[in-house]
Amino acid sequence: MHKVIELLKRIPKGKVTTYKELAKVAKTHPRAVGTIMHSNEFPAKYPCYKVVMSDGRIGGYNGRIDKKIKLLKKDGIIVKNGKIDLGKHMFKLPTNQHKKPDKK
C-alpha cells in the first residue's frame, strides 16, 4: 500500500487536504497523488474524496464529481460553486512523520 493512501486515514472529519499537500509529505508529484487516488480500491477505508485541488476546486473522483460533493457535504464540508473554502476546511499533514529517527 502506498504511503499516500495511508495518509488519507489521518484527515479528520470536516477537513480536506490537497494533492499538493499529500505530494509534499510523501515526497512525490501531485499528479502521482492523483493517479494513486484513482487506483484506490478501498475508498470507504481510505477516503480519497477528501483530496482536492490546491485552489479549493473539487478535482476528480472517477468521473463522479456529484458523488464526491455528496460525500464532502455528508462530512460537513461546504461546497460552493464547485469549490471548498480551504481556510476553513484545510488539514495540513505533519511533514516530519516519515522521517527516520535520529541515531544517537
pLDDT digits (tens, 9 = 90+) for 4-45: 999 999 999 999 999 999 999 999 999 999 999 999 899 889
Fill in the amino acid letter for 40: N
What is the pTM for the complete model shown? Answer: 0.86
Residue range 73-84: mean pLDDT, rounded: 95
Rg of the chain's alpha carbons, rounded to an integer?
14
Does the active-site annotation cover 97?
no
Q: Within 13 A of 11's CA, how many CA atoms are on the CB side?
A: 28
> What CATH number does the domain located at 3-89 have?
1.10.10.10
Active-site option among 48, 51, 52, 84:
48
Sketch the domain layout of the chain as residue ranges: 3-89
For residue 94, the model assigns a pLDDT of 85
